[in-house]
Structure 1
Amino acid sequence: MNGILITMKLSEIIKKGNNNLDIFRLIAALMVIYGHAYAISPQEGKEDVLLHIIGFDYSGSLAVKIFFFLSGLVVTNSLMANQNVVKFFISRLFRIWPALIVTVVFSSLVLGPLLTELSFLDYLSSREVYSYIYKNIFMDIQYSLPGVFVDNKRDAVNGSLWTIPYEVSAYLILVAAFMLGVLKRKIFASILFLIIVAEPLFGNKILFTWISADNREISMLAPCFAFGAILAIWKDEIFIDRYSFLGVWILFYFFRTSEFSFYFFYFSIFISMLYISTTPFFIRLKPPFDISYGVYLWAWPIQQVIARSFDYKGVLFNQLSSSILAIIMGLISWYVIEKKCIKAGVNFSVWLSDRWSNLRSNVAVKSDS
């Protein structure tokens, strides 16, 4: 892409070479570290800048909403492009679980024995160690390990894992909507989107009745994912340009004191990311890797270790040192685990498709004979 972006269809923007959304995922992962540091290494007089400015959200929570928006946009686009549920499940399976499994097992069987206040044998003989592995892999999140981080301000081994079951649930609901034909009917999809967006305003009494509307950090995840999904569905009719960028922020300015100002704020952030990610400057910054998931998975345990050893150094030290170490672990996770598993998932999908095609051909031949 050369020159200055004037107007571009969303369908063109979300093509891999036309954007640098990867850098926004990485920024979001680092925002999580920044925001969590105030809980893990609290320091008097220090406060999350975003929370201080807008009042209704902090940087870590906004980062998760960014993740869900981008996920809704990308995975919906992928599902609609491939029209293959099996391939979708395989790609999600190989994308999410390998790095998660390694993080969970390493935390329980390497970090745990090194950091626990229990003896080595007492730790390894505790059922809680193995339930930590089993439950977290199967989306029943367990935060504690015996004797680990018990003197920290937060004793959770990995407090970031709570978002993953919600993301997996979003994938399942998306697939169900696809299988029912909702995604192919834009009007039905738009009606469903409006219901999901309105849910938190009505106390989650329509669809997500098991989610408390009082906790906006959770209740807004579905609308953010749905916003990404509906943009993917209408991608051929949506244009993003500098006027879109300015227009959403003008709307937020005028409605900043309304009861629903947070909707306008998130909307402005998401549209701005889409626009900025396509500018020539950001395209040139596109990294050859996507380490955001690895950074996200490793950030909290790293921050806990830093807090345990250097809590006296304060929140800024935790933010900076944890960011550096999380990026290193993210790079290791990407090149050693994630990249290879993504490729393995693609190869497995191709193999499975070939096997299915051969099976259908053999059945057809037998039927003809």
Structure 2
Amino acid sequence: MTARRRPARAVDQPSRPAARLSEYAVGRDNNFNLIRLVAALSVLFSHSVAALGLPSSREFFFDHLGLSLAEMAVDVFFVTSGFLVAGSLVNRGDVIAFLWARALRIYPAIWVMLILTVFVLAPALTTLPLADYFASPKTHDYFVKCATLIGGVRYSLPGVFETMPLHGEFNGSLWTLPIELRLYCYLAAGWLVLAAAPAIRLRAMSIAAPIAACAFLVLILRGRLFGAPFNAADTRIFMFLYGTTLYLWRDKVPMRPAILFAALACLLISSVNEQAFFVVYVVSLAPLVLHLAYLPKGRVLAFNEWGDCSYGVYIYAFPIQQTLAFLFPGMPLIAMILVSAAITLGVAALSWTLIERRALALKGDFAAATSRAFNLGLAKIAGVGR
């Protein structure tokens, strides 16, 4: 009798390591342009309710979650900014090039917007004589503060929108820009401070960023859950630092569809309680945004060919909505959303095509010229010192 042969044991196949964020965070094959545009249009939707003076209950998200759609959209902006800006600094390794890239992304478009709104739109709407409007210190202060973004911005122009539900607010969306600008500068300053120790620079920043993020997380959770004082800017700073941290730790961050679905499920389950939702929201938003930015592939990536119109939508939407509410009192909410979105998208597309894209194309030339001037200055100083 022959012995029955045992089946050969299957050889264990080495499991493929889970994909990491670092495998995705290369090149421009992502959905960030689409995410930012959706966020900008979400701010427009939320502000439509306020511009018409409608009760907050008409804004579904604020009424049910304790957070407006605009707040969440701004947080998305800061997460993406923290992630992408950290990548820009690390990949360039040059503070001058980094600062020029950031300046050319923010300033040219906002300067054109201010010229069009302060010197064309507002004079057509003000209740003051034009001579008084242009002579008013309030007009000058608004233009200078919003053009520099240093020391905060101003929100009102004399005689404009003073009878509207959003009393006197000309462009309420600009409040986030000085915060973002300061965060850029802090990031650059940290890079410069660590220039003396380049071998540990990234390691030190990888430790400092999450520590700072955790400090702000504690601050906003204490404020939200226990009534301790905190500023709305604190949440935006946390989101920026969270995005920065995820970039610096991208080699350790797993990327799986299961994580995306788990985050969405947790948000949905926690929505029954505002405080529970807020905790889940602040912890999960950044990974959720990055999964949406990198995992969906296919035709959705073709949206990148349209460029990035989100900044134009963000800086133009508010005055356009206030103007519509002023000219057409009692305008239905759906009409405000659709008309303001159509006008704003058209203006934003022109801003991207004519201003923003062309300005960004100059960042290399500006950085090179600045570096040459800086090196020449150092050479002269060294020559005088001999």
TM norm. shorter chain > 0.5: yes
Query: In structure 1, what is the Cα distance between the partners aligned to 2:353 and 2:361?
Result: 11
CA RMSD, Structure 1 to Structure 2 (Å): 2.8
Aligned to 2:138: 128
Structure 2: state its 5+ residue gaps: 1-16, 195-200
SS of the equivalent of 1:312 reads coil
Name the counterpart of 1:290.
308
Counterpart residue number, 1:142: 154
2:318 is the alignment partner of 1:300: yes
- Determine which of 24, 30, 50 is the counterpart of 1:39: 50
For residues 46-88 of structure 1, the C-alpha deviation after alignment (integer angstroms, 9 at most, x for no partner) is 61122233x2201111111110110000001111111211111
The residue number in structure 1 matching 2:233 is: 218
Q: Structure 2 CA distance, aligned partners of 1:214 and 1:162?
A: 17
Choose which of 174, 192, 203 in structure 2 pairs with 1:184. Answer: 203
> How far apart are residue 8 of structure 1 and its match?
3.8
**2:170·2:322 contact (CA, 8 Å) conserved in 1?**
yes
Corresponding position of 1:207:
none
Residues 13 and 274, structure 1, Cα contact 8 Å, conserved in 2: no
Partners of 1:7 and 1:299 lie apart in 2 by: 42
1:85 aligns with 2:112: no
Shift of 1:214: 4.4
- Asked if the contact 1:290/1:334 (under 8 Å) is kept, the reply is yes
Out of 254, 257, 275, the residue aligned to residue 242 of structure 1 is 257
Q: 1:345/1:240 Cα in 2 relative to 1: closer, same or farther (>3 Å)?
A: same
Distance 1:178 1:130, change over 3 A: same
In structure 1, the partner of 2:181 is: 168
On the 8 A contact 1:22/1:287 being kept in 2, the answer is no
Change (3 A) 1:214 1:355: closer
Q: Does 1:197 align with 2:217?
A: yes
The 1:56/1:183 distance shift into structure 2, 3 A limit, reads farther
Does residue 1:327 correspond to 2:345, yes or no?
yes
Q: Does 1:11 align with 2:22?
A: yes
1:132·1:143 contact (CA, 8 Å) conserved in 2?
yes
The 3 A distance-change label for structure 1 pair 45 and 91 is closer
CA spacing shift, 1:150–1:45, aligned 2, 3 Å: closer
1:263 to 273, 279, 290: 279
Q: How does 1:145-156 map to 2 (within 5 A)?
A: 145-154=157-166, 155-156=168-169
Which stretches in structure 1 are left out of the alignment for 5+ residues? 1-5, 205-211
Relative to structure 2, which stretch is displaced further, 244-253 or 84-93? 244-253
- Cα distance, 1:193 vs. partner? 2.6
Letter in 1 for 2:288: S
Q: Report how far residue 258 of structure 1 moved.
A: 7.9
What TM-score do the two structures reach when normalised by structure 2? 0.83
CA pair 7-41 structure 1, distance change in 2 beyond 3 A: farther
CA separation in 2, counterparts of 1:93 and 1:222? 19
Shift of 1:361: 9.1
CA contact (8 A) 2:239 2:286 kept: no
2:255 alignment partner, SS class:
strand
Aligned mates of 1:98, 1:246 — CA distance in 2: 39
Give the conservation status (yes or no) of the 8 Å contact 2:173–2:314. Answer: yes
Q: In the TM superposition, what whole-angstrom CA distance separates every residue of 1:147-184 from its partner, at most 9, and x where no partner exists?
A: 11122111211011111111112112222333344643
Identity %: 27
Give the match for residue 82 of structure 2.
72
CA positional deviation for 1:91: 1.2
- State how far apart, in whole Å, the 2-side matches of 1:362 and 1:44 are: 64
Q: Structure 1 149/229 Cα, relative in aligned 2: closer, same or farther at 3 Å?
A: same
Bigger radius of gyration, 1 or 2? 2
Quick check: 2:49–2:59 contact (8 Å CA) kept in 1?
A: yes
Closer, same or farther: CA 190–344 of 1 in aligned 2, 3 Å: same
Query: 1:121-145: CA deviations, max 9, x gaps?
Result: 2222222222211121222311111
Shift of 1:333: 0.8
1:270-298 C-alpha deviation (Å, 9 max, x unpaired): 32332233312422333431010011000
Shift of 1:20: 1.2
Q: Is the 8 A contact 1:22 1:290 kept in 2?
A: yes
* Offset at residue 187 of structure 1 (A): 3.2
Query: What is the distance in 2 between the residues matched to 1:249 and 1:94?
Result: 35
Distance 2:134 2:106 in 1: 27
Whether the aligned pair in 1 keeps the contact of 2:145 and 2:153 (CA below 8 Å) is yes
Measure the CA separation in 1 of the matches of 2:374 and 2:174: 35
SS in 1 for 2:116: helix
What are the superposed Cα offsets for residues 313-344 of structure 1, whole Å, 9 maximum, x if unpaired? 22221111111111111111111111111112
Query: Which amino acid is 1:347 matched to?
Result: D
Question: TM-score of the superposition, structure 1-length normalised?
Answer: 0.86
